[in-house]
Amino acid sequence: MFDYSVIDRIDTSGEAPLEEPMRQYYFMKKCKEWMEETKDRVGRELTLSMQTMGCQMNARDSEKFEAILTYIGYKTVDSTSADFVLYNTCTVRENANLKVYGRLGQLKNQKKRNPEMKIAMCGCMMQEPTVVEKIKKSYPYVDIIFGTHNVYKLAEILYTQIISERTIIDIWDEAKGIVEDLPSLRKHSFKAAVNIMYGCNNYCTYCIVPYVRGRERSRKPEEIIAEIKSLVADGVIEIMLLGQNVNSYGKTLDNPMSFAELLKLVTEIEGLKRIRFMTSHPKDLSDELIEVMASSDKICTQLHLPLQAGSTRILKKMNRVYTKESYLDLVDRIKSKLPNISLSTDIIVGFPGETDEDFEETMDVLRRVRYENVYSFIYSKRTGTPAATMDNQVPEDVIKERFDRMLELIRSISSEIADSRVGMECDILIEEPNDHDSTMVTGRMSGNAVVHCVGSKDLIGKIVRVKLLESKGFYYIGEIIND
Ligand code: SAH
Ligand code: SF4
Ligand code: F3S
């Protein structure tokens, strides 16, 4: 548990300290003092609405933002209108950007009506200069804009905005080291995500992430292990290790270490029951990692292994650095050592130059590998990436036809896999009450599939044994059994 008394004890009468994280603690307390005065002035509590888009990296950053803003005194509400509205944005595909502009437009009138309202924008979209220009021009009522490399500075940026009453824009081109020991607020008490690295060096030709998240940086193993130990002491039994390409973990450390070595250290943490990780780039997945996964019951039988495309020709143009054959060979090696593995993947349909033959190669891999889950995306042109200027962009109607055909195949394979599991017994971690039926709870299998079963809310956070009674395509109905 983060010890907030460290912040409360800070003397805010003098200058801000220069070293981190003390500097941020100082500004958190300064903002809290401002909040006390504001609450007295307006005669009510101030509310917070956080909108998090994109991947688990953003979700993890948002846990930090929420902790900082909650410490300051904002109360989170389940609504898009609040006194502090924070958009943590994603820019991996264009429709994500369009959604953000739409919402920003809607906030204009709310802001006119509420003089206490502040609008903050952060996340990957803000790392694109054209986006920041557009916000400055078309949405000048935004109060705070910051990027992905200075997320830890939220309190300092907010305090600067409070004092100056101007729009504060603070975007860095690259990260300047990793700031540890910030508070964070988790959604679940029993499971948590832990960053093991930031950024990406792979430059897949369609992808904007390396430009908006910067170069690959690994956290030190001692910091990661210490964070997980303290989470476990706090009641966490499942952790998700996060990185854009966890398989290249450790290369940039002073004392290089492989992901498999890190994973082994994590399995040795007493009290930790389940370990997941994502994402694995197929080009870097080692036999050593497969061995470690096979050697520990704590490592979940789940592996997300993005394929992107089945055609070797397209993979080359994507700069994925593996071929159809080497990918299939890797899957064979994984399945032979880990027979219960649940594989999932990402596919892009309509990469520039994708022909019907290329697309059939993707369908062929889907049929051969039989993924439990496929996240499929229509190719989206991202300005600044090499693919955006490639010839032969595929027409929309062609992409749509391929996409629909692929969805049908994915659905039929996933449901065949699910049906074949009915009758099996497995362990699930109960995560939440069931949304629709108060006599039921919802949990996840080691392979990550969702199971609903009759059970009391007291079971939340516990691992129970269930028998799978029925498959519903994307989830199962199970029955808790006492063994
Ligand atoms: N680091 C992860 C993926 C991060 S982005 C990996 O390498 O697997 C998540 C997914 O978004 C990618 O796997 C890809 O399938 C998809 N994606 C990225 N850029 C895209 C684009 N320009 N158009 C469509 N989908 C894209
Ligand atoms: Fe993007 Fe490729 Fe990096 Fe994944 S590995 S984040 S797809 S550049
Ligand atoms: Fe989106 Fe940024 Fe993640 S672009 S997918 S939120 S790293």
**476 contact partners, CB below 8 Å, separation of at least 6:** 418, 421, 422, 449, 450, 451, 452, 468, 469, 470
Bond from prior residue into 80 cis (ω within 30 degrees of 0):
no
CA of 352 to the centre of ligand 3 (A): 22
Q: What is the mean pLDDT of the chain?
A: 95
Q: Which atom of ligand 3 is nearest to the CA of 53?
A: 6
Tens-digit pLDDT profile for residues 380-426: 999 999 999 999 999 999 999 999 999 999 999 999 999 999 999 99
CA of 244 to the centre of ligand 2 (A): 6
- The average pLDDT across 290-296 equals 97
Q: Specify the residue with its C-alpha closest to ligand 1, atom 2.
A: 244
Distance CA 467, CA 481 (A): 7
Q: Specify the residue with its C-alpha closest to ligand 1, atom 8.
A: 306
- Within 6 A (CB) of ligand 2 lie 200, 202-204, 207, 209-210, 244-245, 281
Give the model's pLDDT for residue 235.
Answer: 95
Diameter of the chain measured on Cα atoms: 69
Tens-digit pLDDT profile for residues 340-350: 999 999 999 99
* Residues 206 and 351: beta-carbon distance below 8 Å: yes
Least Cα distance to 387 among 210, 192, 124, 133 occurs for 210
Q: Which ligand is nearest to the CA of 393?
A: 1
CA of 68 to the centre of ligand 1 (A): 30
Distance CA 69, CA 35 (A): 10
Q: Specify the residue with its C-alpha closest to ligand 1, atom 1.
A: 244
- The average pLDDT across 173-198 equals 90
Lowest mean pLDDT among 176-180, 356-360, 449-453: 176-180
* Residues 170 and 150: beta-carbon distance below 8 Å: yes
Distance CA 358, CA 363 (A): 9
Q: How confident is the model at residue 2 (pLDDT cuts 50, 70, 90)?
A: confident
91 lines ligand 3 (CB under 6 A): yes
Best residue among 346, 347, 362 to mutate for probing ligand 1, ranked by most atoms within 8 Å of CB: 346
Q: Which ligand is nearest to the CA of 148?
A: 3
β partners of residue 192: 239
Least Cα distance to 52 among 60, 41, 40 occurs for 60
209 lines ligand 3 (CB under 6 A): yes
Q: Which atom of ligand 2 is nearest to the CA of 320?
A: 2
Least Cα distance to 208 among 125, 302, 328 occurs for 125
CA of 304 to the centre of ligand 1 (A): 13
- Dihedral (C-alpha) 377, 380, 384, 389: value to the nearest 10 degrees? 120
- The average pLDDT across 189-193 equals 96
* Residues 221 and 249: beta-carbon distance below 8 Å: no
Give the model's pLDDT for residue 177.
Answer: 77
* Residues 413 and 367: beta-carbon distance below 8 Å: yes
Distance CA 274, CA 260 (A): 16
Distance CA 380, CA 91 (A): 10
Distance CA 352, CA 366 (A): 20
Best residue among 51, 53, 61, 92 to mutate for probing ligand 3, ranked by most atoms within 8 Å of CB: 92
Tens-digit pLDDT profile for residues 78-112: 888 899 999 999 999 998 898 999 999 999 999 99
Q: How confident is the model at residue 46 (pLDDT cuts 50, 70, 90)?
A: very high
Give the model's pLDDT for residue 296.
Answer: 96
Q: What's the pTM?
A: 0.94
CA of 224 to the centre of ligand 3 (A): 22
55 lines ligand 3 (CB under 6 A): yes
Give the model's pLDDT for residue 247.
Answer: 95
Q: Specify the residue with its C-alpha closest to ligand 3, atom 1.
A: 90
β partners of residue 453: 441, 478
Residue 398: both structure tokens together: 């062609």
CA of 382 to the centre of ligand 2 (A): 13
Give the model's pLDDT for residue 422.
Answer: 96
Residue 232: both structure tokens together: 């476990």
Q: Over 90: is that where the pLDDT of 482 sits?
A: no
Distance CA 431, CA 140 (A): 41
Best residue among 55, 204, 249 to mutate for probing ligand 2, ranked by most atoms within 8 Å of CB: 204
CA of 205 to the centre of ligand 2 (A): 9
Give the model's pLDDT for residue 6.
Answer: 93
CA of 470 to the centre of ligand 3 (A): 35
Give the model's pLDDT for residue 79.
Answer: 85
**143 contact partners, CB below 8 Å, separation of at least 6:** 118, 119, 120, 161, 167, 168
- Within 6 A (CB) of ligand 1 lie 92-93, 206-207, 209, 244-245, 279, 281, 306, 308, 346, 348, 377, 379-380, 382
**How wide is the angle at C-alpha 289 spanned by C-alphas 286 and 293, nearest 5°?**
150
Bond from prior residue into 183 cis (ω within 30 degrees of 0):
no
Q: How confident is the model at residue 483 (pLDDT cuts 50, 70, 90)?
A: low
Residue 165: both structure tokens together: 């009453």
Q: Which ligand is nearest to the CA of 58?
A: 3
CA of 409 to the centre of ligand 2 (A): 25
